[in-house]
Amino acid sequence: MTTLADLAGAGVLAGEVMLAPLTTYRFGGPARYYLEAHHEEEILEVAAALAAEPVPVLVLGRGSNLVVSPQGFPGLVIRPAQGMAGVAVRGDGLVAAGAAASQPAVARRCAAAGRGGLEFMVGIPGSVGGAVRMNAGGHGSDTASWLVSARVIDLLRAVVTERPVGALGLAYRHSDLADTDLVVAATFHTLARPRREGEAIMREIVRWRKQNQPGGTLNAGSVFKNPPGDAAGRIIDQAGLKGFRVGGVAVSEKHANFFVAEAGASAQDLFDLVAEVRRRVRDRTGIDLEPEVRFVGPFEERR
């Protein structure tokens, strides 16, 4: 049976690829094995080899919700790439998008075709695969509201299934997808909306974000999920933690749920800042904020 090492030897998998440039925080050491996938078949070939040599798996989108350790990832990283970035708007209003399509591209493509609903994606710098896995959302909407189904490869069994939205367990910034489930494509329903209306909605979203979020900085969006009926940013701000920092990472002065990395910062600084903000908020308010960003690889728990 073909192993991952065989595939690496044959050049199908790359070795020791640095993950930092592939994430919005620009943190992260090397992946032991790395596949930039353009076709479903490549992923299935690698999945079959994974059965012969089980190693940890990370599916990487646009890295806009990830904090990767400097030690990197000791297993297999699969990143859907350009060949899987198509977006097709059908006559019946269904939209088929590949996993690697960016969410802003989906929003803009739909608006240009006179289809509405997905405008909220214009401000989320992730991929369609990441949108499904995280149930990405904002501006009063989310992925679950528009998703019809996702095409998913179970990397442990090397099988592909079309899973209806109801089978994905989507909830606020959550899905039941496992780390070994790879979304290859998604189908959305949309509604008829004149192009200029869709574009106006997107302009307003972009304006709001520029005004309220620290654009142009190294971050991964909201660090914590909002607790029911409240906003993590408001709670952190109320706790007096705007501007609070560990090493080269600070709580944004503009939006307290964005933690911004500066030159020379480390992923460990961010890990420590998240832990300390969580502890201080818990001590002060009794609220235990749950991280939305995902930490990948080993980090040191410090107290």
Ligand X SMILES: Cc1cc2nc3c(=O)[nH]c(=O)nc-3n(C[C@H](O)[C@H](O)[C@H](O)COP(=O)(O)OP(=O)(O)OC[C@H]3O[C@@H](n4cnc5c(N)ncnc54)[C@H](O)[C@@H]3O)c2cc1C
Positions marked active-site:
173, 222, 292
Task: Report which of 77, 76, 75 is spatially closest to residue 23, judged by C-alpha positions.
Answer: 77
Query: Which candidate, 212, 204, 103, 179, places its Cα nearest to that of 147?
Result: 103
Residue (111 or 155) nearer to ligand X, CB: 155
Rounded to the nearest whole angstrom, what is the least distance from the CB of residue 267 to ligand X in the complex? Answer: 14
* Closer residue to ligand X (CB): 5 or 160: 160
Counting Cα atoms < 13 Å in the Cβ hemisphere of 113 gives 21
Helix (H, G, I), strand (E, B) or coil at 154: strand
Residues making contact with ligand X (CB under 6 A): 24, 58-66, 80, 99, 123-127, 129-131, 133-134, 136-138, 173, 177, 181-183, 219-221, 294
C-alpha triplet 137, 125, 211: angle, nearest 5°: 80
Give φ, ψ of 217 to 5 degrees.
-115, 170
Q: For strand 95-98 and strand 87-89, is the pairing parallel, antiparallel, or unpaired?
A: antiparallel
Nearer to ligand X, 140 or 264 (CB): 140
Question: Residue 114 or 227: which CB sits closer to ligand X?
Answer: 227
Instruction: Give the number of other CB atoms < 10 A from CB of residue 94.
Output: 15
The residue (of 6 and 237) whose beta carbon lies closer to ligand X is 237
Beta-carbon contacts of 10 under 8 Å, excluding residues fewer than 6 positions away, are none
Q: How far is the CB of 35 from ligand X (least distance, A)?
A: 12
The C-alpha R_g of the chain, in whole angstroms, comes to 20
CB of 218 to ligand X, least distance (A): 9
Cβ at position 8, least distance to ligand X in Å: 21
Alpha helices per DSSP H over 143-215: 195-212
Q: Closest distance between ligand X and the C-beta of residue 5, in Å? A: 23
